[in-house]
Amino acid sequence: MMRLTMKHLFWLKLAIHLLAILPVTYLILLIILDKAGGDPVQYIIHYTGIGALNTLVILLCISPIARKFKQGVLIQIRRVIGLYVFAYANLHIFAFISLDLLFAWSLLFEEVVKRPYILVGAISYIILFLLSITSFKALRRKMGKRWQQLHNLVYLLALLVPIHFYWSVKSEVIEPGIYIVLTSLLLLIRSPLPKLFLEFYLRLKNKLGSLTSS
């Protein structure tokens, strides 16, 4: 497998920008052509929400892939992908507030209190907002160890967003269920637990092997 270097970083980021903007362009085209489903408002809200979730899943895949294939350069693209998660989340929330609630702010606060999935979505957005504004190098240096502690909230975010999706649908729970399983697996891969279990298994195997041989 070809080893990526810093020379490839520009083209990687360019490809990410193009791939991230393409779905938005497609959505705009659907709206212009009046092909955004029977309920365009809900279609736009769902489309942008799925865009944020898909981009988050891609973000969670970066570190395991970089470690598995020894492609350290991929770590450099996490920030730009994370910012696109934030961008899609902004589009999702703006579509909900402007097209569904028609900027009725009092209704928004009522909805947050009354509907658990909106409350979970609001908490997810706050976490994402904090992660995004602290993604700049200057703030990272200034925050020191607190930066990593804050950015560990991405694991909580990865759990909350699929739950928000699951609770928001009245039927067709298969799709959000798949996202819950997928993000759970990605979190398990990123956690130290598999490595700890493997080390425990190898130690136990060696110990049993030494007992049987003696």
The owner of tokens 């991929």 is 74
Rounded CA separation 96/90 (Å): 10
Among residues 85, 73, 188, the alpha carbon closest in space to that of 130 is found at 85
Q: Give pLDDT, residue 113.
A: 85
The residues, any chain, with a CB within 8 Å of residue 150's CB and separated by 6 or more, are 130, 131, 134, 143
Give the tens place of pLDDT for each residue, 7-44: 899 999 999 999 999 999 999 999 999 999 899 999 99
pLDDT at 93: 96
Q: Are 126 and 120 in contact (CB under 8 A)?
A: no
Q: Map tokens 């706050």 to a residue.
A: 126
Q: What is the pLDDT of residues 44-100, one digit of tens each?
A: 999 999 999 999 999 999 999 998 898 989 999 999 999 999 999 999 999 999 999
pLDDT at 97: 95
Report the C-alpha gap between 84 and 63 in whole angstroms: 17
Question: CA neighbours within 13 Å on the CB side: how many for 54?
Answer: 12
pLDDT band at 133 (very low <50, low <70, confident <90, very high): very high
Contacts 24+ apart (CB under 8 A), 63-72: 63/190, 64/186, 64/189, 64/190, 69/1, 70/3, 71/3, 71/4
Tokens 């637990």: give the residue. 193
Q: Is the pLDDT of residue 208 over 70?
A: no
Name the maximum alpha-carbon separation found in the chain.
78
Residues 169-203 pLDDT 10s: 877 889 999 999 999 999 888 776 556 555 666 67
Residue 36: strand, helix, or coil: coil
Q: What is the pTM of this model?
A: 0.88
Alpha-carbon dihedral angle through residues 89, 23, 163, 176, given to the nearest 10 degrees: 170
CA 6 to chain centre: 25
Mean pLDDT for 91-113 is 92
188: its two tokens: 């398990």
Distance, in Å, from the CA atom of 180 to the CA atom of 166, rounded to the nearest integer, reads: 8
